[in-house]
Structure 1
Amino acid sequence: MKALALVEAPDHVCCRYRVRAFAEALAAAGWSLTIEGLARGALARPRQLRRARQFDAVILQRKLLNPWEMALLRRASRRLIFDLDDAVFWRDSYHPKGVRCPSRERRFAHLVRQADAVLAGNDFLVGRSLLAGAAPEVVRRLPTCVEPGHYPIRVPEPGSPVRLVWIGSSSTLRGLEEQQSLWDRIGREVPGVILRIICDRKPEFGALPVEFVPWSEPTEAQALAECDIGIAWMPDDLWSRGKCGLKVLQYLAAGLPVVANPVGVHPEMVAYHHSGILAATEDDWVEAVTRLVGDWELRRRMGAAAREIVEQSYAVDRWASTFVEAVTGSLGGMPARPHFDAIGGVRTLPSGRVEGTGR
């Protein structure tokens, strides 16, 4: 049996963590996986979509096709899976036209109604998929996962310099840069602290010294393991509700305590005062960083709890069966009893499948 994944690019971060990560599990189920960047151009893309008929299942990741492309792909696909880890039905936080986009919402609704399975990265995306008209039995929650074994664990030592760390892309770095006054204040009020930025460009944060490390896939885990406290900040808007918290998962996997603002999935991932600290205001941030910088034993204890959270709830092997079931259409074993989740009108099964409650 053969599966085809149509993604933004084979080396794109979303493909690496949400598709390629499960290739081994899919192979164990007797399926091969072909990953292709979605073709561009009036001739190339239709040819690629028609070739979907050569596969037993097609995974379309994040892309909202126009109506005729969607019709072509649907006709060519024996089984169609849509994967999303962002609020792709809206524009991003920094778009000049604002977040809401009715045309994207319509294309999203059409897509999820046509899909045989929808893999949504968090509860908010599950809820939006159901509101858009996806059949409850096809929607599954599949959080972005990491492989803990790929991340060396940071073990802090008393008296050593303390590094904050942020990892991400230029697009998400923009949000950090909009909080310039906060980072400048931390630099002035928390002596000796350094902020390592693992990215494709270096920002400036006033009094807070920045240590720039160019991002690369082979070195990112080690670059995180050399740091002490992971930081995550997102704007409090609709777009951020769809974010799936990859950078926080990477911090947790490296055994770093996390300081994050309480937006989107952050409160779910950061167990308050257990694996990290949620900080809403500038005063909260300064207090949290000051406390962690000054207490290496607290950092060690929170870091150990952070690693445990990843291993128990966000490791690849914990969710491999959900991915394989969605792609292959098979359900192993008896259905599990559902439990009520945080979004009204949604019930999430331990397998990741969801049901609507009729509310």
Structure 2
Amino acid sequence: MTDGAAAGSREVLFLSKAGVTDQSTQHRIDPIADELREREYNVSVIHGKQRSIFGRPFRYVAGAGIVELLSNGGSYDAVVMNRDGSPTAYLAALLCNRKEIPLIFDIDDALYHQKRIDETPIPIPGRIFLDKVIQQAAHVTTGNSNIESELSSLNSNITTIPTPVDASVFQKETDPAATYDSTVLGWMGIGPGHEHNLRLLREPLMTLGKKYDITFRMVSSLGNGEIRDTFTEVEQYVDVDYGYNDRIPLKQVRREMATFDIAVLPLNPSDEMMEGKSIIKVLEHLAMGLPVVASDALAYGDLLTHDETGLLADTTEDWVSNIERLINDEGEKNRLAEAGYQMVVKDYTVESYVDQLETVIDTAVTDL
């Protein structure tokens, strides 16, 4: 570690569990690293690797990160590791402690609650050493307060820094990928992990589809059999677009989202995994200038103020009445969209995130 290094001259190494194109990299690593570089930090990023065990893929901190720590670890003032609990992540944490480099462990998802569709836990190799890595860290940063509460018993040095919006990608006045004559209700995300959430939209969509000409679009959903089964009946009343079979670049995602008239973001409070879901989906839709109707649950309910920055729904009746209100009242739709947008540009930018991360780095370096 460089003793007494000024913030702007600090050396920071990011170790990612995810690959270059993965969402966690594009949300909580690359834009953060770029902003630190703008502030004259010397930043290196080593992206993760993916392997498969019994047909199930998992990602982990690459061996190149271990080699870098062994070879050049002493030159770094801090290491930021993203959401990995693999053996290589644990080895990296041990090396950081041995070389007296403060490790900041970042986690923005409730990996400790992940389950299969049949509700049984998934024995993911990337979770085996999660608790041990968290205990080794000098500081933990989380995506929301639910994760912070869950992990505070493992590490008392913990700070919630919500995932920021990359304004260079998600922005108003984006040219839409297509135009529609119907009202487009939209959801953006990776479908298989959200089937329990998306299921909450079945009844509202069928009810609304009997009265209005509606298209329901899932952008980049990688729709699987469970999702298609969930919406088969809905197709009698609503045009359902299941999205793409492969991930698409974020800038293309933006153009697809620009086709939405209203964003619908369900979150099932009975699913433990959802307790730690990031608020990033809500923020990205708001950054696009879209009015949002979201579940009044967990982090989504904490973020949005009903009737001010969005609309919140508990029941089928809530979903129907809120969406119907926006379909029928253009002024209300615009008012809520603008208020949500202003909240994002004020409080959830990459710059705001890095302001908080700098404080965490300063504290970790000072306390070591």
- TM normalised by structure 2 equals 0.77
**1:210-225 maps to which residues of 2 (within 5 A)?**
210-214=240-244, 215-225=248-258
Which residue identity does 1:234 align to in structure 2? Answer: L
Q: Which has the higher helix share?
A: 2
List per-residue Cα deviations over 1:65-84 (Å, max 9, x = no partner). Answer: 33556434543562211000
Matched, 1:140 2:163: no
Alpha-carbon distance in structure 1 between the residues aligned to 2:210 and 2:310:
20
Alignment of 1:274-293 (within 5 A): 274-293=308-327
Show the counterpart of 1:34.
44
Inter-partner Cα distance in structure 2 for 1:38 and 1:278: 37
2:152 is paired with a residue whose SS is: helix
Change (3 A) 1:71 1:318: closer
Q: Aligned match of 1:60 in 81, 88, 95? A: 81
* Matching residue's letter, 2:24: C
The letter for the 2-side match of 1:146 is: V
Quote the RMSD (CA, aligned, Å).
3.2
Alignment partners' CA distance in 2, 1:331 and 1:70: 15
- What is the count of residue pairs matched by the alignment? 323
Query: Cα offset for 1:211?
Result: 3.5
Q: 1:82 aligns to what?
A: 105
CA spacing shift, 1:20–1:186, aligned 2, 3 Å? farther
Partner in structure 1 of residue 22 of structure 2: 12
**How far has the Cα of 1:269 moved from its partner?**
2.0
Q: 2:263 — aligned with what? A: 230
Match of 2:57 in 1: none
Equivalent in the alignment of 1:299: 333
Distance change >3 Å, CA 322–CA 91, structure 1 → 2: same
* 1:67-216 equivalent positions in 2, closer than 5 A: 70-72=93-95, 74-75=97-98, 78-92=101-115, 94=117, 96-98=119-121, 107-132=129-154, 134-135=155-156, 138-148=157-167, 150-153=169-172, 161-179=182-200, 181-202=202-223, 203=228, 204=231, 205-206=234-235, 207-214=237-244, 215-216=248-249
Instruction: Tell me, in whole angstroms, the C-alpha distance in 2 between the residues paired with 1:148 and 1:210.
Output: 29
1:318 correspondence with 2:352: yes
Show structure 1 runs of 5+ residues with no match: 333-359
Which piece of structure 1 moves more, 28-37 or 65-74? Answer: 65-74
Report how far residue 248 of structure 1 moved. 0.8
Call closer, same or farther: CA 1:77–1:227 in 2, change over 3 Å. farther
Paired AA for residue 300 in structure 2: H
Residue type matched to 1:27 in 2?
Answer: R
SS in structure 2 at match of 1:148 = coil
What CA deviation, in whole Å up to 9, does each residue of 1:95-127 have, x standing for no partner?
A: 64248x8x9988433222211221111111122
> Alignment partner for residue 2 of structure 1, among 3, 8, 11?
11
Residue 49 (1) aligns with residue 72 (2): no
Deviation at 1:283, TM superposition (A): 1.5
Spell out, residue by residue over 1:185-231, the C-alpha distance to the aligned partner (whole angstroms, 9 max, x if none): 24533411211221143544422212355443122223222321111
Cα deviation for residue 305 of structure 1 reads 0.5
Whether the 8 Å CA contact 1:50–1:72 is kept in 2: the answer is no
Code of the aligned partner of 1:189: K
Structure 2: distance between partners of 1:268 and 1:319: 18
Confirm or deny: 8 A CA contact 2:15 2:65 kept in the other structure: no
Q: Percent identity?
A: 19
* 2:14/2:80 contact within 8 Å kept: yes
* TM-score normalized with structure 1 length: 0.79
**2:342 paired residue number:** 308
Query: What secondary structure sits across from 1:272 in the alignment?
Result: coil
Provide closer, same or farther for how the CA distance between residues 254 and 18 of structure 1 changes in structure 2, counting only shifts above 3 A: same
Matches within 5 A, 1:264-283: 264-283=298-317
| 1:10–1:35 contact (8 Å) kept in structure 2 | no
Deviation, 1:160, is 6.9
Segment drifting more, 71-80 vs 143-152 = 71-80
CA apart distance, 1:260: 1.2
